[in-house]
Structure 1
């Protein structure tokens, strides 16, 4: 397999590193880099001993990562897919659902594998939590809560909804094996007009409520990335910055034989999971899927559904109301028109 990496910026360079590791392990054959910044891409190509191009139209590979700005994903992805290139596109798949579904349609039309970089599906501790939820160890899932906080100048391209909360929308769908029945969202843009620096979301999954708090304007906790899942029998907490630790709380509130409410709290145990780099696991899963002619777990359709949900969250924030995304990912969707324009800017993600 010849593998390409389109975009060698902040996050793209990590894809290059992992691709080089897979080449050295014999998982892929050759690597070709692509970036409009020739100084940057030539230096990186020299570092890893690979070839490069500066125009995505000159990229001829079997599979590739697209790690360019989200605004360029549709043009680059549909062009490469039209040339039978399997793709792993960084999240979000696009910044609107028409563009996202156009990429999915292009993949299906050309019978290509398409994955989206929802990297937390490959987080070891989150994977362990998913297995315990599926086994019923936590009981009925009642509540999920996520904090993604830091203090920084907001980006001038996309806000926290598409940069941070996107992870948690997909994570909740992944853990609960479903899509929310309703969404309420509030966003603030005090620093850069039109760029949300804080987003608060409430997602209703029927008997389960999910709350997402994301902000670039909270200096109180340092960089915070954590998830709490509350079940009827047990609860769990994980720190996304600690890949291998999952804390399980053995606590519940229940009715005794006399029908009186009582509580039990037997403390918590920290479980250590297998050590694994999420990005490498993600790319390995994509490479395997490409070789087998399949989609990876975080498929293009998963990515497009997530973009639709973010659009509904924006609608909720703009209109100040709860929205009910009943038709997200509907199977009767008609293919969208393909935008064939190509923009190969580097990623600043």
Structure 2
């Protein structure tokens, strides 16, 4: 397999590193990097000893079979559909696109051309979150009731996409991933006091059947340094994950019980579990490479990315209209997808 990496900025350079490691181990054959910044491209190509091109449309011509797209979000639709139409499997960094129509269009193109489409929802490969999902599936937490997520830092807002699409996209998908279903209603509030039109703070409440997920994202909180964490509360136990501590899951054996008509708090302490500490990005790319070869099932297929974008659109509408928005059914194209791309 000849593997391409399109976009070699901060995150794309990490994709280039992992792809080069896989090539050195024989998991893939060759790596080709692509970027319009010739200087940066030349430096990375020299560093990893690989080929480089400045035009992504050349990749099919030189035999690239699969590729990462790690370019600015507004370019995802054009690059992804072009490569899929020309027979290249792709994994697209989140968000898959900036609107639902474009996102489902990419998914439909993959289906029409029988190509593998994955999305870079990397937290589906986070060791602690994978371990937590397994525990939820085994019933250790009981029925999930409440989730809350915080992603806080202090920095200037980006020029292109706000906190909702840059950060919230992760946690919207994580909520669906852990609960195994879509929300029924969304309420969202956005703040853009620093850079007009670019939200630096996003607050979402997503209501599921029997559960609520509260998501807090901000680039304007200097209190915690960098904070990324998740609390999941079930009827039997609660869990805590610090995303910055990749492989640790804390379980709290705490719940409220009723006896003789009286409510009592039962607290039997905390257990700390350590999951295998695999690098999430490497696990994500290995998952994609295996699916591209027909050897595995994607943890984050195209439809997952498209649905996340749809939910962000609902959240944006909620913020604009200052109202709770009913989510409704998934995109109409979902039912037509083949197993390869679902």
1:40 aligns with 2:40: yes
CA apart distance, 1:206: 1.3
Segments of structure 2 that go 5 or more residues without pairing to the other structure are 338-342
CA apart distance, 1:333: 7.3
1:10 matched residue in structure 2: 10
Deviations 1:251-278 (A, max 9, x none): 000111x121111101111111101100
Q: Aligned equivalents of 2:310 and 2:19: distance in 1?
A: 30
Q: Aligned equivalents of 1:332 and 1:296: distance in 2?
A: 16
CA apart distance, 1:330: 3.8
Instruction: Give the secondary-structure state (helix, strand or coil) at the position aligned to 1:252.
Output: strand
Pairwise mapping of residues 96-175 of structure 1 onto structure 2 (< 5 A)?
96-175=99-178
1:191 matched residue in structure 2: 194
Q: Aligned equivalents of 2:23 and 2:202: distance in 1?
A: 40
2:88 matched residue in structure 1: 85
* CA RMSD across the alignment: 1.3
2:340 matched residue in structure 1: none
Q: Aligned equivalents of 2:171 and 2:334: distance in 1?
A: 26
Q: Aligned equivalents of 1:136 and 1:100: distance in 2?
A: 34
2:57 matched residue in structure 1: 57
2:73 matched residue in structure 1: 70
Q: Aligned equivalents of 1:38 and 1:99: distance in 2?
A: 29
Q: Aligned equivalents of 1:46 and 1:326: distance in 2?
A: 50
Deviations 1:3-39 (A, max 9, x none): 0000000100000000011111111000011101111
CA contact (8 A) 2:186 2:204 kept: yes
Give the number of the structure with larger relative contact order, counting CA–CA contacts within 8 Å between residues 6 or more apart.
Answer: 1
CA apart distance, 1:332: 6.6
1:346 matched residue in structure 2: none
Instruction: Give the secondary-structure state (helix, strand or coil) at the position aligned to 2:293.
Output: helix
Q: Aligned equivalents of 1:67 and 1:49: distance in 2?
A: 20
1:323 matched residue in structure 2: 325
Q: Aligned equivalents of 1:229 and 1:205: distance in 2?
A: 14
Instruction: Give the secondary-structure state (helix, strand or coil) at the position aligned to 2:331.
Output: coil
CA apart distance, 1:43: 1.1
CA contact (8 A) 2:303 2:334 kept: no
Q: Aligned equivalents of 1:321 and 1:295: distance in 2?
A: 38
Q: Aligned equivalents of 2:291 and 2:76: distance in 1?
A: 21
CA apart distance, 1:240: 0.3
Q: Aligned equivalents of 1:298 and 1:92: distance in 2?
A: 12
Pairwise mapping of residues 244-283 of structure 1 onto structure 2 (< 5 A)?
244-256=247-259, 258-283=260-285
1:347 matched residue in structure 2: none
Q: Aligned equivalents of 1:18 and 1:174: distance in 2?
A: 25
Instruction: Give the secondary-structure state (helix, strand or coil) at the position aligned to 2:141.
Output: coil
Deviations 1:39-97 (A, max 9, x none): 11111011101101101111130000000000000000011001110000000000111
1:284 matched residue in structure 2: 286
Segments of structure 1 that go 5 or more residues without pairing to the other structure are 336-349
Number of residue pairs matched by the alignment: 334
TM-score by length of 1: 0.94
1:238 matched residue in structure 2: 241
1:311 matched residue in structure 2: 313
Deviations 1:269-311 (A, max 9, x none): 1111101100000000000000007661101011000000000
